[in-house]
A and B are shown apart, each in its own frame.
Chain A
């Protein structure tokens, strides 16, 4: 613990010295009587001051929570020496607030006593939040000396984003080879009827279409579409975000990514993640609940990191972007690097859809003057950028925070159907 002398100690020492010397010079015993209480306070205070031997532990009732959940935290204090006054302050990170309890708090600790402070924390925003440090300041009975330290335990509260439940998600243009819930365009073993064809050696008897065979006088068999899975890559742009108060575009993107990952994993699709930004993170596609947790955990560590390094999609490992995968990008389209990467992905033939997490609701249009004109030009340039992406065949839909994600997905689906029809 680091010890500090308070201003009071210096003051009382100064008053005592001045008073005693003046009493000697002026030969007035009354001045000794005026000074003596300060000297007594100094002597008694310093004699009673014992360096505290504290142990502090901060624990959480649950290390994981959903946005909006309340989590209990416990600060356990014990001391082998008496502490007349102990100030404790648990620093809470952005995104976690105090719902109930006392923080900061001042209390007394007797020698050998153990005390427990209970706090209720409200996880307001998704992310990995480190609780602490916990600052402690002990004082002697007369407040002449203070000792300060910080607790070593800093538990982490992982707050998962609250997600929408999606009824329907975007389908990839092409399926993969593993079994899944998506009806493939190809023909093979499956449930969905596709076509009929003449019987061939090796065809099972159960596949013979007797009605068609009777009509044509030859054996014909049914063909079906197999049920296959798809690969979906969720591409989160973390180069830049627009933020207004507690909400920002990255928050919306993280919640949407979490909801999409959940929906695709439930369909037995393989889902991967690319967080493309100042720090590049990726997860190769995988299936199952474990993959869902991996994605959400990886999302928690995604944050905006300022970087001037020009990144292109070459930095993304090849395995992360398998052929025929649907790349679903969530981007505020604020950084030219992420826009360039999206256009590059499309140019390399990837099936790409972009949800433009609009930064416009998180900005305020200036009332008048050049600023308002600049603002209008900025929104027009955003429209032009979306048009440019659409002209390359990318489905782009602007998502402001008022619309539910399902509605945005339906809009993307409608665009893709129209675009496919136009191509065909």
Chain B
């Protein structure tokens, strides 16, 4: 909740005149996450992330410059989602070996570091000046669709 709250606070602080909207969406996201954690509903997690993302999108409205902190914002949202999943999955009746918790923490750290690296590369690529056009947009759509298709293929495998 703290991680998600931090991400939402950052979005609200950079929102300018859209700050009230960013604050409301951020508060809603944190509230939903709290509800999901209390009621142990994992289906709440994606909605909180989408709400927090929407708040961040609102905050970026009207700004032409690419935000470098988006690298951290994305990783923070992933971290919030992972920690929330961990909290909801945790069952006190199952006695977990301590090594297992350490292992999961290490996996999560590695994932966040990997995501940070990928994000830095992505935003670095976005910073390269290139002419926009229909062709570039088409390539972007194709890339997005391919990414989702790859994920679906992996799920079925």
Interface residues in chain A, defined as those with a beta carbon under 8 Å from any beta carbon in chain B:
5-24, 26, 28-44, 46-47, 84-85, 87, 89, 102, 104-108, 141-143
- The docked-state distance in angstroms from the alpha carbon of A13 to that of B144 is 12
CA distance A311 to B122 in the complex (A): 82
Check A40–B150 contact: CB distance below 8 A: no
The reply to whether A30 and B107 form a contact with Cβ atoms under 8 Å apart is no
B134 at interface (Cβ–Cβ under 8 A)? Answer: no
13 A-B pairs whose Cβ atoms sit less than 8 Å apart in the complex: A8-B85, A11-B49, A13-B151, A20-B147, A28-B57, A32-B122, A33-B70, A37-B74, A38-B77, A39-B151, A46-B157, A107-B100, A108-B99
Interchain CB contact under 8 A, B43 and A11: yes
A16 CB → nearest B CB, Å: 7
Residue of A nearest to B66 (CB): A29
Known contacts: A104-B94, A105-B97. The answer to whether A36 contacts B155 by CB under 8 A is no
Which residues does chain B contribute within 8 Å of A41, judged by CB atoms? 78, 82, 111, 115
Contact (Cβ within 8 A) A38 B81: yes
* Residues of A contacting B122 in the complex (Cβ-Cβ under 8 angstroms): 29, 32-33, 36
| CB closest residue in chain A, given B82 | A41
Query: Which of B's residues lie within 8 Å of A, judged by CB?
Result: 42-43, 45-46, 49-50, 53, 56-57, 60, 66-67, 70-71, 73-75, 77-78, 81-82, 85, 89, 93-97, 99-100, 103-104, 107, 111-112, 114-115, 118-119, 122-123, 126, 137, 140-141, 144, 147-148, 150-152, 154-155, 157
Q: How far is the CB of B106 from chain A (nearest CB, A)?
A: 10
Q: Is the CB of A34 within 8 A of B45?
A: no
In angstroms, Cα B67 to Cα A299, docked, is 78
Say yes or no: B95 contacts A39, CB within 8 Å: no
**A15 proximity list for chain B (CB < 8 A):** 46, 49-50, 53, 81
- For B85, list chain A residues within 8 Å (CB): 8, 143
Give Cα A5–Cα B42 distance, bound, in whole angstroms.
Answer: 13
Contact status B155-A5, CB under 8 Å? yes
Given A15-B49, A104-B93; A34-B150 close (CB under 8 Å): no
* Contact of A37 with B77 at beta-carbon distance under 8 Å, contacts A29-B66, A107-B97 already known: yes
Residues of A within 8 A of B50 (CB): 15, 18
**Which residues of chain B come closer than 8 Å to A22, judged between CB atoms?**
53, 57
Residue of A whose beta carbon sits closest to that of B86: A143
From residue A396, how far is it (CB to closest CB) to chain B in Å? 49
A37 touches B154 (CB 8 A): no
Chain B binding site: helix, strand, loop or mixed by DSSP? helix
- Nearest neighbor of B140 in chain A, beta-carbon distance: A24
Q: Is the CB of B155 within 8 A of A9?
A: yes
**Would B114 and A106 count as touching, CB distance under 8 A?**
no
Neighbour of B95 across the interface among A46, A84, A102, A108, CB < 8 A = A102
B148 touches A16 (CB 8 A): yes
For B93, the closest partner residue in chain A by CB is: A104
Nearest A residue to B115 by beta-carbon distance?
Answer: A37
Name, among A14, A38, A43, the residue most crowded by chain B CB atoms within 10 Å (CB to CB): A38
Q: Is there contact, CB below 8 Å, between B94 and A13?
A: no
Most buried by A among B66, B75, B93, B115: B115
Structural contact, B60 and A30, CB atoms closer than 8 A? yes
Contact in complex: B115, A36 (CB < 8 Å): yes
B115 to A106, Cβ gap below 8 A?
no
Residues of A within 8 A of B107 (CB): 84, 141-142
**B140 neighbours in A (Cβ, 8 Å):** 24
Given known A42-B154, A107-B97, contact A24–B141 (CB-CB < 8 A): yes
Starting from the known contacts A37-B119, A107-B97, 10 additional A-B residue pairs (CB-CB under 8 Å) come to A7-B43, A11-B81, A13-B152, A30-B66, A30-B70, A34-B53, A36-B118, A44-B111, A108-B99, A143-B89
